[in-house]
């Protein structure tokens, strides 16, 4: 399966930036809009270049190292020191942490 080249002119105008900013209720001045338009146009040109690369015989990678990640064993440990952990808690009662009520 071959990719079709992107045919966009890869430019974003100041007016487009200001229009999107207005729709998004963002306060962007004209100088900033010029800068954003130039930056986004550069990004779109790069994406066009990447989109035109022939990847026909390239297999997708799930991991750049093509390796499995070693995971630790999922074993329950009972080395939690409740007294030490609760000694720094603001409020504790009967071994439970007390928290402020957030739902009325």
Quick: pLDDT tens for 9-63.
778 999 999 999 999 999 999 889 999 999 999 999 999 999 899 999 988 877 7
33 vs 20: CA distance, rounded Å: 10
d(CA 3, CA 55): 8
- Whether the pLDDT of residue 4 is over 50: the answer is no
- CA distances in angstroms from 73 to 69, 70, 77, 79, listed in the order given: 12, 9, 11, 16
Structural tokens at position 54: 């022939």
């Amino acid at each position: 399966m071959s990719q079709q080249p992107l045919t966009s002119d890869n430019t974003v105008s100041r007016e487009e930036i200001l229009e999107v900013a207005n729709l998004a209720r963002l306060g962007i001045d004209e100088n900033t809009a010029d800068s954003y338009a130039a930056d986004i146009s550069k990004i779109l040109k790069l994406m066009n270049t990447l989109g035109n690369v022939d990847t026909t015989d390239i297999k997708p990678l799930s991991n750049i190292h093509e390796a499995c990640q070693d995971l630790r064993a999922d074993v329950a440990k009972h080395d939690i020191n409740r007294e030490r952990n609760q000694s720094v808690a603001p409020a504790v009662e009967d071994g439970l942490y007390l928290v402020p009520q957030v739902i009325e």
